[in-house]
Structure 1
Amino acid sequence: MAAASGTNDLSSEMELDAFRRLFPLRFHERHLLESIRPDGRPLGRARDTSLSFGAVASANGSALAKIGCTTMLAAIKLEVMTPTVEAPDEGCIAIDFHMPPICSPLIRPGKPAEVAPVISKQLSDTILRQESGMIDLKELCLVSGKAAWMAYLDIYCLDADGALFDAALLSAVAAFSHLQIPVVSLNDDGRIVLVSEENGGSMKEKEPVNKEKIKLKMSSQPFSLTCILHKNYILADPTSEEESIMETYLTVVLDTNYQLASLNKPGGPGLASTSSIQDCIVLARKRVKELQQILGEAISDMEVD
């Protein structure tokens, strides 16, 4: 009897898996009728999220962010540059988003992912938006008109399982939270030089620029939540399978004060109603509170270590 029962269970699992692959939309809609998703989450709940700092030892700031299986590695490298004539008191930030073949079986070697430049632009628009107040580029100035920091932010998708922008933005915010601006001085030639920890700052300094490592000030931190809109249902933080089946989705970006920073609806069928947008914003505000707590706990753990 036990063997027969085990065989029946295995047969049922195989039939369920076949049904999921042959009729994916019907499979998911059966779950939606019960207000639950295949992974057991309620419709409005995001996946488990974690953050860790210092994932790249050679970077000036780095972070690893995981939302469910979606995994992003963000690293910031600082270099000294000559500021532009138009903005002599400001540094610069260059943002690149990478999707290597390892992140998804859909990415083929030698052929860049079409979504990568789209997410790069979204990240740049969000992080560098003046209204968001995330980073004051004047904070990156060393000597007015002569030297400033160029911050290269590279984000690598290690595992792509939906809501890529949400995880990428979270890793970027965390990397900037971890960033430490190096100690530098002016040498006898009037050039900016790094003061290494090994020499203890014993080199002959013409003029100190900063005497200790500085944390970058961020007055506001943007966070986002992507939602699937399907019929009368709203699914927060979709997986890649859900995104591929239900193509209408909306990304809400909020600042630290839970104010709307931007809305983004990528291509795909369907229109987002006003009530659906409002419901997504409500879910996003709850999500921002969660992410602020996760980021705060990660920073506290880092300071203790």
Structure 2
Amino acid sequence: MSAETDATAAGGLAGEMEVEAYRRLFPLAFLERHLRESVRPDARRLAEARPTTVALGAVSSAHGSALVRLGDTAMLASIKLEVMSPPAETPDQGSVAVEFHMPPICSPLVRPGRPAEAAPVISKALEDVLMSSGMLNLKELCLISGKASWVAYLDVYCLNADGSLFDAALISVVAAFTHLEIPLVSVGDDGRVFTVGGNEGKSKYELVNREKRKLTLGDIPFPLTCALHKDSILADPTAEEESIIETSVTVVLDSSGRLVSIQKPGGGVTSMATIKACIGLAKERGQKLKEILTDSVEAMEVDQAE
């Protein structure tokens, strides 16, 4: 390599180091320099979400599961079904128990031995959206009215936390319920309900449900989180952007375009015009997520047919 080439390479490396140092020392100024050009540090447009992938059936031991990647954020959702006695007030319904997990491996901000502060907040938000959206008909989880029903234990694991955690978590939950298959069950002589496997089991036991089946899902909730800075709306913020921008709005719309929820955890006062703009972006995002989910279901069906 010539001396001139060496000097050019050294200058380029030095320039990159200066940019990275400026980014770390003055993160807000660095971000604002990009926003003035209507672009973001990762080269996305302001309203552009990160690439999203959905893989169904990621956990073979679960009754339903999905792995979702939203940029560098990764979520794994799994559903295990267990037979329980329904509560007296809802004898003909099953139930769903939601828990969101953030192990230390997902982020340097999560300390070993200490539960992440965001985990219970996201757990509650996921449960609220599932129950209020109407996606699930809990009566479909009933086996024998007043005697036996399914409890769906839904566990969501954050494998890598790089922003928009609730969005990635909800997408993985929706995908896992799309993949969920309810197993065959029978009632023993002692009245105990148990699962039945294989064709031999079908012939030996009297079945409560005659075949494995999918849940009939209603309108599906799709989320979009927007970070708000001055006059800029940043769709699907990264962890770096979230650490700089104090105000964010998360909009959840169902697959029919109806508003399910709006969450605004703190930050400055937000105008109604900005909220409407976030809802408009959420509608566009919902359509894209619907296509991604449909493609993942079709891909799974092709794999099963081969």
TM-score norm. by structure 1 comes to 0.97
Deviation at 1:199, TM superposition (A): 2.8
CA distance in 2 between counterparts of 1:204 and 1:20 reads: 66
CA distance in 2 between counterparts of 1:34 and 1:204 reads: 68
Q: How does 1:244-255 map to 2 (within 5 A)?
A: 244-255=243-254
Q: Is residue 243 of structure 1 aligned with residue 246 of structure 2? A: no
Q: Match of 2:123, SS?
A: helix
CA distance in 2 between counterparts of 1:247 and 1:72 reads: 24
Residues 36-61 of structure 1: CA deviation (Å, up to 9, x unaligned): 00111000000000000111111000
Residues 37-92 of structure 1: CA deviation (Å, up to 9, x unaligned): 01110000000000001111110000001100000000000000001110000001
CA distance in 1 between counterparts of 2:57 and 2:280 reads: 33
Is contact 2:104-2:110 (8 Å) kept?
Answer: yes
Match of 2:73 in 1: 70
Match of 1:277 in 2: 275
Q: Is residue 231 of structure 1 aligned with residue 222 of structure 2? A: no
Match of 1:92 in 2: 95
Q: How does 1:2-41 map to 2 (within 5 A)?
A: 2-41=5-44
Q: Match of 1:142, SS?
A: strand
Match of 2:193 in 1: 192
Residues 150-207 of structure 1: CA deviation (Å, up to 9, x unaligned): 00000000000000000000000000000000011222222212111163423242xx
Deviation at 1:99, TM superposition (A): 0.1
Match of 2:293 in 1: 295
CA distance in 1 between counterparts of 2:210 and 2:185 reads: 7
Deviation at 1:283, TM superposition (A): 0.5
CA distance in 2 between counterparts of 1:112 and 1:186 reads: 40
Residues 236-295 of structure 1: CA deviation (Å, up to 9, x unaligned): 000000000011000000001111111000123x11110100100110000000000000
Structure 1 segments of 4 or more deviating over 4 A? none
TM-score norm. by structure 2 comes to 0.96
Match of 2:164 in 1: 163
| Residue type at the aligned position of 1:101 | P
CA distance in 2 between counterparts of 1:48 and 1:134 reads: 25
Higher mean alpha-carbon deviation, 187-196 vs 11-20, is at: 187-196
Deviation at 1:118, TM superposition (A): 0.4
CA distance in 2 between counterparts of 1:114 and 1:198 reads: 47
User: What CA RMSD, in Å, does the superposition of the two structures yield over aligned residues?
Assistant: 0.9
CA distance in 2 between counterparts of 1:161 and 1:204 reads: 49
Match of 2:266 in 1: 267
Is contact 2:69-2:168 (8 Å) kept?
Answer: yes
Match of 2:149 in 1: 148
| Residue type at the aligned position of 2:9 | G
CA distance in 1 between counterparts of 2:200 and 2:291 reads: 39
CA distance in 2 between counterparts of 1:258 and 1:214 reads: 27
| Residue type at the aligned position of 1:159 | N
Deviation at 1:8, TM superposition (A): 0.7
Deviation at 1:228, TM superposition (A): 0.6
How many correspondences in the alignment? 300
CA distance in 2 between counterparts of 1:117 and 1:189 reads: 39
Q: Is residue 304 of structure 1 aligned with residue 302 of structure 2? A: yes
Match of 1:134 in 2: 135
| Residue type at the aligned position of 2:300 | M
Is contact 2:72-2:161 (8 Å) kept?
Answer: yes
Match of 1:57 in 2: 60
Is contact 2:81-2:150 (8 Å) kept?
Answer: yes
Residues 73-119 of structure 1: CA deviation (Å, up to 9, x unaligned): 00000000001110000001000000000000110100110011000
Mark the runs of 5 or more structure 2 residues left unpaired by the alignment. Answer: none
CA distance in 1 between counterparts of 2:146 and 2:260 reads: 32
Residues 104-163 of structure 1: CA deviation (Å, up to 9, x unaligned): 01101001100110000100100011xx21101001000000000000000000000000
CA distance in 1 between counterparts of 2:31 and 2:131 reads: 38
CA distance in 2 between counterparts of 1:128 and 1:294 reads: 23
Is contact 2:174-2:220 (8 Å) kept?
Answer: yes
